[in-house]
Chain A
Amino acid sequence: MKSLQWKARFLLAIIGLGAALSCASVIKAEAAALTDQDVISGIAGPKTDEIAAKGDPGADLTGTVNDVTIADSKKGLTLADLANQAGQNKVAINFVWTLVTGFLVMFMQAGFALVETGLIRAKNANHTMMMNFMVYGLGLFAYYVCGFAIQMGGSGPIANLGGTYPLNSEHVVQAFGKPWGLFGTKGFFLQGSTYDVGVMVLFLFQMVFMDTATTIVTGSCAERWKYSAFCVSTIGLGALVYPLFGNWAWGGGWLSQLGANFGLGHGYCDFAGSGVVHAVGGITGLAVAMQLGPRLGKFNRDGTPNVIPGHDIVLVLTGCFILAFGWFGFNPGSTLGASGNGCLRIGSIAVNTMLAGCTGSFAALLYMWMRYGKPDASMAGNGLLAGLVAITAPSGFVNPLAACIIGWIAGILVCLAVEFFDRVPRVDDPVGAISVHGVNGLWGVLSVGLFADGRSNYGGSWNGVAGSVKGLFYGDPGQLVAQLVGISTLVGVIFTLSFLWNWLVDVFVGQRCNPKSELAGLDIPEMGALCYPDFQLKTQDYAVASSSNGPVSSASVVKH
C-alpha cells in the first residue's frame, strides 16, 4: 500500500514538472510576442506626396511621426525609437539654449569695449579698444590650451548636456580628514575623450565667461597699461588664475564641496558668476591698478583727486545696453539647458536679471542726483551694470523682490565704492571696473547667503547636497558662511595669485608705459595709429576740475 502511494506521488511529480515546463514555454513565447509588440503600429504620419502638392501653411503636417528616426526600417517604429528621440530632443534643446546664450555672452565683449572706450580720453581710444578686442583671442587660446582643463576637467557628468562624461578627473588632496579638490586634469587642448559634443558646448559657454573676466581688467588699467604687458597678463589670467577659482566653485572643487564636507548649506553657490567671473576680474583689476599707479594728473600733490572725463557718453550708454542684453545669456544660460532638471526657471532668472539691472541704474541715478544735483549718465550706466553684476550669483535662487533689493543696494554701493577708491586708497580706476565688478561681485556672492529662498529645484540637489539653496533670511545661516568663505578666498587667494603673476609681468615686461607716451596718448606710441585721425585731440585735459566735492572717477562726467 505504501509503495503504491509513493508511485502515485512520483507520477504526480512528473505531471507537475511537465506542466511547469509547458507554462515556461508559454511565458517565453508571450515574452517574445511582447518584444514584437514594442513595434508601434497604427500611427500614420501625413503622406509626403500630399505635403509636396499642397505645402504646409498651417504647420499641421510638419513635425509628426514621420520625423522620428527609426533604427531598423524592417521592424518599423518602436518604443525605443521614441525614447531615443525624446532624449535627443531634450539634449538638443539644451545644446541650442546653451550655445545661443553663449553667443549672447560673447557679444558682451562689444558692450565692454564701448563702455570702456567711451569712459576714457579720445587719445587712448584705439589702445583701449584693441585691449578689449584682443582679450578675446588671447584669453580664448590660453583657456583652450589649459584653462578649461584646470577648471572643468573634473566637473563630472552634467545631465543637461547629455553627460559630459569625459570630464572625470579632478586632482584631490586629502587634508585634515577632508578631500580638497584643487584642479581638473582632463581636457587640455580638448584632445582625447574630451573631443565630445557635450564637452564642446560646455567649453564654448565657459570660455566666453572667462573672457568677460579678463576684459574687466582692461577697464581698471586703461590709459597707462603697456600693450605687451596687457597681453602677457591676460594670458595668465585666462590660463591659470580664473580657471582655478572656476574649478573650486563650478568644477567640483573644494569650495563647491563645503556643504558636503563641512555641512555649510549647499557649499559655495554662485549661479552665474558674480564671484567666479566679476569678482575675479574686478579683484585682478585692483591688483594690476595698484601696481600701475594712477594716471598722470589724476591726483594733485596733496592727494586730492581730479575728474578725468570720458570722451563719449553715447558709446558708454550704448555699451551698457549691449551688456544688459548680453546678460540675458549670462544668467539664464547658466542653467545649461531649457529642458529638464528645473531648467524652466529660466523665465524667473531672466526677470530677476532685468529687475536688478533696472533698480541698480535707478538707485545710482537717484544717489548722484541727490548728492550732486545732477543725474549722472555714466554712473546711471554703472549702476545698471552693478545691479546686473550683483544679481548674477543669486539670479537662480532668489525671488523678484529680492532681486530688486539686491540691485538697489548694488546701485548705491557702486557710487560709494567709486568715491572710496578715489579718496581713500587712491587707486585710479578710469571706468569704475573695480567698483562695478569687484565690489558688487562680492556683494552678489554674499546676497546668495542672505536671500536664496529655497524654492529653486535643479534636479533635487545642488553641489551634491539634497534640497534647495536657502539663505540666512530663509533659515540657513550655514549657506551664508559658505558664501563668506568664498569671499575670503577671492580676496585672500585670487588677489594674491593675480598680484604675483602681474608682479612677474612687471619685472620681465614692465607694466606701465612711459610718461611721454601717456601724455601724448597711447594710440600712436603703443598702437601706431590714432582712433580718430581726423579729429583734433586735446592732450592735456587732465587738470579739468579739482573735485573736492564731486564724483572723482572718470566714470563720472558731471562738472562741478
Chain B
Amino acid sequence: MRLIGIAVIVGGWLITVGGLLMTSSTMGRMVFACIGIGVSVLGILKVLNGYYLARAIWKK
C-alpha cells in the first residue's frame, strides 16, 4: 500500500512534467500542473496516510 501511495505521488509529478513536454500552451500546462498537484496530494493524504490511519495507535 505504501508503494502504491508513493507511485501515485510520483505519478502526479510526472503528469506535471509531462504537461511541459506535451503542450506548449500556457493554459494547457497550467491544467496539467494543477492535475499533477492534485494527484500527488491525493496520494499523500488519502493513499499513503490511509495506510497509516488503518494502523493508527488510537484505534487499538
Contact = CB atoms under 8 A, between A and B. Distances in A.
B12 A488 contact: yes
Contacts of B6: 496, 499-500
Given A262-B20, A485-B17, A491-B37, A427 B49 contact: yes
Interface string A282-301: 00001000110110101111
Given A294-B57, A303-B58, A484-B33, A499 B13 contact: no
Given A487-B37, A488-B12, A491-B41, A294 B58 contact: yes
Interface in B1-21: 2, 6, 9-14, 16-17, 20-21
A176 B21 contact: yes
Contacts, number: 93
B30 A488 contact: no
A341 interface: no
B10 A493 contact: yes
A157 interface: no
A296 B44 contact: no
Contacts of B17: 485, 488
B21 A485 contact: no
Given A291-B52, A481-B29, A492 B58 contact: no
B57 A492 contact: no
A484 B16 contact: yes
Interface string B17-60: 10011001011011001101100110011001100110111110
A319 interface: no
Contacts of B49: 290, 425, 427
B40 A488 contact: yes
Given A298-B58, A301-B58, A488 B37 contact: yes
Contact of A264 (B29, B44, B48, B55): B29
A426 interface: yes
B32 to A, nearest CB: 9
A492 B36 contact: yes
A426 B12 CA distance: 23
Contacts of A485: 16-17, 20, 33
B52 A495 contact: no
A263 B17 CA distance: 14
B44 A286 contact: yes
Contacts of A258: 20
Contact of A488 (B16, B44, B52, B57): B16
A487 B40 CA distance: 10
Contacts of A546: none
Contacts of A280: none
A258 B26 CA distance: 12
Contacts of A496: 6, 9-10
A417 to B, nearest CB: 12
B48 A299 contact: no
Contacts of A493: 10, 13
Given A293-B57, A500-B6, A491 B30 contact: no
Given A176-B21, A491-B40, A495-B40, A484 B34 contact: yes
Interface string A448-490: 0000000000000000000000000000011011001101110
Contacts of B10: 492-493, 496
A75 B48 CA distance: 74
Nearest to B14: A492
B53 A426 contact: yes
A480 B52 contact: no
A260 B52 CA distance: 42
A500 B3 CA distance: 10
A286 B52 CA distance: 12
B48 to A, nearest CB: 7
Contacts of B37: 484, 487-488, 491-492
A499 B48 contact: yes
Contact of A426 (B9, B14, B26, B56): B56
A296 B57 CA distance: 8
18 contacts: A293-B55, A294-B57, A296-B57, A299-B56, A426-B53, A427-B49, A481-B29, A484-B34, A488-B12, A488-B17, A488-B40, A491-B40, A491-B41, A492-B12, A492-B37, A492-B40, A493-B13, A499-B48
Interface of A: 176, 258, 262-264, 286, 290-291, 293-294, 296, 298-301, 303, 424-427, 477-478, 480-481, 484-485, 487-489, 491-493, 495-496, 499-500, 503
Interface of B: 2, 6, 9-14, 16-17, 20-21, 24, 26-27, 29-30, 33-34, 36-37, 40-41, 44-45, 48-49, 52-53, 55-59
| Interchain residue pairs A-B with the least CB separation, the first 6 | A492-B13, A484-B33, A488-B16, A299-B58, A492-B40, A491-B40
